[in-house]
Structure 1
Amino acid sequence: MTSSTQQAAEICNTPARISMWAAALGVCLIVAVFATPMFWLMYGGYYTFFMFVSAVVAIPAGHLGRRRGKRLGGRDRGLALLGIVTGWLLILCSLLLVLAYAGVLAGLAFLADSAS
């Protein structure tokens, strides 16, 4: 490896980038929930599970990226912070989706009970 290639590899804040990619995946899953409502009703558990997993990856990687960014002179600290904030929002959205599933099931149970 040349000196400039080694220097570029040292400067890269990998945890911050991982955090941002995980957060972007979770946001894409939220968009998929609203873009394909029929698939959400059929496979909503998968959407919610992968949204939660991407948030669980984004938050710790974002914290590692913030710490590493401090040592690198502020490199990609904002990107890591965006991953942290988006990760917590993804957890909130996944919890709201779980409540929505429970509400749909409770509503269907109420309708079935009142019909008989």
Structure 2
Amino acid sequence: MTSSSQQTAPSTMEARNKPARVSIWSAAMGVVLILAIFATPMLWLMYGSYYTFAMFVFGVVAIPAGHLGRRRGKRLGGRDRGLALLGIVTGWLLVFCSLLLLLVYAGALVGIGFLTDSAS
């Protein structure tokens, strides 16, 4: 008889690589935000900072979760290691795109400041 305090080893069908799945879902949500920027430019102009912040957060979540997923995938015999790698690469691209958008915002503010200063 087994008691409820004893833990049983998970079978190969039950062993899942949750960090890899978190990484890929976070990366997918970031990609959806990039697509939303292009699909709804007016909303992006009004709420661009929220889009950019969310892209950065999704990228920052995807990177360490992907690394954990790669490590766990090695112990699980290679299960979902490709998903974890995709999450890592997409996470870095999301961080890069969000920092690029931050530079665009800063450049726009400097440009507006320059235009208003030269107009007066």
TM-score of the pair, normalised by structure 2: 0.88
Deviations 1:9-45 (A, max 9, x none): 2x21111000000000000111111111111111111
Most deviating of 12-21 and 38-47: 38-47
Is 1:85–2:89 an aligned residue pair? yes
Q: Which amino acid aligns with 1:103?
A: G
**Which sections of structure 2, spanning at least 5 residues, go unmatched?**
1-9
Is 1:108–2:108 an aligned residue pair? no
**1:16 equivalent in structure 2:** 20
Q: CA RMSD in A?
A: 1.0
Q: Structure 2 CA distance, aligned partners of 1:39 and 1:103?
A: 20
1:64 to 54, 62, 68: 68
Q: Which amino acid aligns with 2:30?
A: G
Is 1:75–2:58 an aligned residue pair? no
Q: Which amino acid aligns with 2:108?
A: V
TM-score of the pair, normalised by structure 1: 0.91
* Aligned residues between the structures: 110
**Which sections of structure 1, spanning at least 5 residues, go unmatched?**
1-5
Q: Which amino acid aligns with 1:101?
A: Y
Higher helix share: 1
Q: Which amino acid aligns with 2:109?
A: L
Report the alpha carbon displacement of residue 72 of structure 1 after superposing the two structures with TM.
0.5
Q: Which runs of 4+ in 1 moved over 6 A?
A: none
**Percent of pairs with identical residues:** 75
